[in-house]
Chains A and B, each alone.
Chain A
Amino acid sequence: MLIDVILIAVAAVLVGVYVSWRAGRLDRMHARVDKARAALDAALVRRSSVAQELAACGLLDPATSLLLAGAAHDARAAGEPNELAESDLTQALRAVLSQPGFRTSLDSQGNADELLAELESAANQVFLARKFYNDAVASTQAARRRWLARALGLAGGAPMPVFFEIDDSLVAPTGETGGSDMPHLTS
C-alpha cells in the first residue's frame, strides 16, 4: 500500500542519514588522532632537542653531558618516535635531575635557569600530548569496535590507531608533586 511504501522510504532515508553521520564521525575521530599524533611527535622532538642543548651547554660535567647527548641522539636516531628510546631518554633525564647537588651546582650559571625551564616545559608538553593522544586513540578504537562500524567497514582503509606507551614521568617515584601530575623542576 502506498503508506507502507512511504514509511519504508522514510525509514531507509533516516537509516542512510544515520550511517552517514556515523561514518563522518569516525572520519573526524581519525583526523583528531592524526593531529594529536603530530603534536606528540613535535613534543618528543622538542624534548630531545632541549636535552641535547643541555648536554652541549658546557655547564655540566662531561659524564652527564655524554649521557644526555647519547640518550637524545638515540631518541632521534630512528627518525620516527621510538617508545623504547624515548623511555630511555626519560630515565636518563630523571637520573641526571635527581643527582644530589645538581640544582645547586647549576645555580645562576650561564643560561642554566633558562635551559631547565625549557626542559620542564618540554617534559610537561610530552606528558600532556601523550595523554591527549592516547585519549583520542581510546575513543577511536572504541568507536571502531562497535558492530555497525565493523559490519559496514565504516573506517574505510584507515589503520587502527595504536597507543603510545612510554615512561614520561620526570618525577621520582617518591611522588613529591603535591598531588599534581606535572613536575616543577625549577621551583
Chain B
Amino acid sequence: MKVGIVCPYTWAVPGGVQQHIRDLAEALIGLGHEVSVISPADDDTPLPAYVVPAGRAVPVPYNGSVARLAFGFLSASRVRRWVKEGGFDVLHVHEPAAPSLSLLACWVADGPIVATVHTATPRSRIMHAAYPALQTALEKITGRIAVSEAARTTLVEHMGGDAVLIPNGVTVSRYEKATPLPGWPGEGGTLGFLGRMDEPRKGLEVLLRAFAELAVQRPGLRLLIAGPGDTGDVLDKVPAPLRPRVVLLGQVSEEDKARVYHSVDVFCAPNTGGESFGIVLAEAMAAGAPIVASDLDAFRQVLRGGRAGELFETGNPAALAVAAGRLLDDPERRATLSDAAAEAVRAYDWPVVARDVVRVYEAVVAAYGQVGVVR
C-alpha cells in the first residue's frame, strides 16, 4: 500500500508522537509498504528518506504549554501538494485535534483517512463546537485509533466518537541485545530505575525507601538510575552512608537506554499511577530484564498477571523490598521471568502493531475509495 502519514509536530524534536510515527513508518516499510511522512522540520535537520519537510513549525502557546505547530495557508498548500502528488491509498494523520498539519490534511483531503489520537482532552469539544468548519474537517476522518484507554474514553465521553485501541509499540530488536555498562551489574547486585526522577507518579521515592531497607542487609547492593531530574534532590532522599551506592546517569541516549536495561539484576517500575500503558515496562521486557512492578492494571496486563514480572503492592516500599530481595536471591526465577517477559513483549513489537494498523487501513480503503484533494 502507499501510505501517507502526517506528523503535526517538528520532526527532530524529542516527543512521543514523533517517535511513534518514526517507528510506525519504519515498521510499515519493513512490511513492504511505501511510506511518505510529511512533517514540519527545521531547515538544517537531517531527515530520513521517507520524510517530506513541510516548512518550519512555530512555537505557540496552545492548551497550556508551548507547542511547535505548522498552521497557515502556506502549510495548508504544502500538505495539499503532497496529497495531490502522493497518490496515496490511505492517509494516516496523527493528533488531528491539534492546530497543525494533521488538521489541515483533513481539511484539504477526502477519501480513506485514518487518525491516531495520542491525547484527547475534553477541551477539544469546546473548541470544535465554536467553529463548524473544524468539525467538517474532522468528520472526514473515516477511522480512529487511540493509543491508550484514557484517550479512547475521552473520545467516547466528550466527543461522541469511538476509536479502536492499538497501543504504542516497542522496537524489540533495539533492546534485545546490548552490552551492559562497564562495571555493571557488579557483584553485589543492582536495582534499576528509568524515568523522570522528579515526577512523583513515576514512584522513585518508593524505590529509594525500599533500597534503603535492602541496602542495610546487602552490603554490595547498588541502585542505578537513568532519567532527567535534579540529582541533588534525589540524593537528599537517600541516607548519607548509602549515597555512594546510588548512581545517577541523568538523561541517556537511546542506545545507552538499552544498555541500562542490561546492566541491572532487577528492574523496578514503582509507578504509583497515571500509566496507561507503560512503555518503559515494554522496553525493559524487550531487554529481558527481570522486572518488579507496581500492581497497576496496565502493568498487570502487560506482565501477564505476574508471569512475566513480579508485582508488588502499589506505593508500598516494604512490599517492593520483599519482592526485589526475593528476586535478587533467586537467579533461576530471574531467568524464568526474563524469558517470559521477552515472550510476552512480542505482542507489542512494532511489526505486530503495524500489522494491526494495516488492518485498519484495509478496512477504510475498502469503504471509502481513493484519497484525493477537495479544496
Contact = CB atoms under 8 A, between A and B. Distances in A.
B247 interface: no
Contact of B99 (A67, A88, A100, A102): A67
Given A64-B99, A100-B72, 18 more contacts: A55-B131, A61-B76, A62-B99, A63-B70, A63-B75, A63-B107, A66-B127, A67-B60, A67-B62, A67-B69, A69-B130, A70-B63, A71-B61, A91-B61, A92-B61, A96-B71, A99-B74, A101-B73
- Interface magnitude class on chain B: 20 to 34
Interface of B: 58, 60-63, 69-76, 99-101, 103-104, 107, 126-128, 130-131, 133-134, 137
A53 to B, nearest CB: 11
Contact of A63 (B61, B103, B128): B103
A174 to B, nearest CB: 15
15 contacts: A56-B131, A58-B133, A61-B75, A62-B103, A62-B104, A63-B71, A63-B99, A65-B134, A66-B99, A66-B134, A69-B130, A69-B131, A71-B62, A73-B130, A100-B74
Interface in A146-164: none
B107 A62 contact: yes
Interface of A: 52, 55-56, 58, 61-67, 69-71, 73, 88, 91-92, 95-96, 99-102, 105
Nearest to A66: B99
Dominant SS at the A interface? helix
Nearest to A71: B61
Nearest to B71: A63
Contacts of A69: 127, 130-131
Contacts of A92: 60-62
Contacts of A58: 133
Nearest to B77: A101
Contacts of A91: 60-61
Contacts of B137: 62
Given A62-B137, A63-B103, A70-B62, A99 B72 contact: yes
Contacts of B60: 67, 91-92, 95
B33 to A, nearest CB: 28
Contacts of B69: 63, 67
A101 B107 CA distance: 19
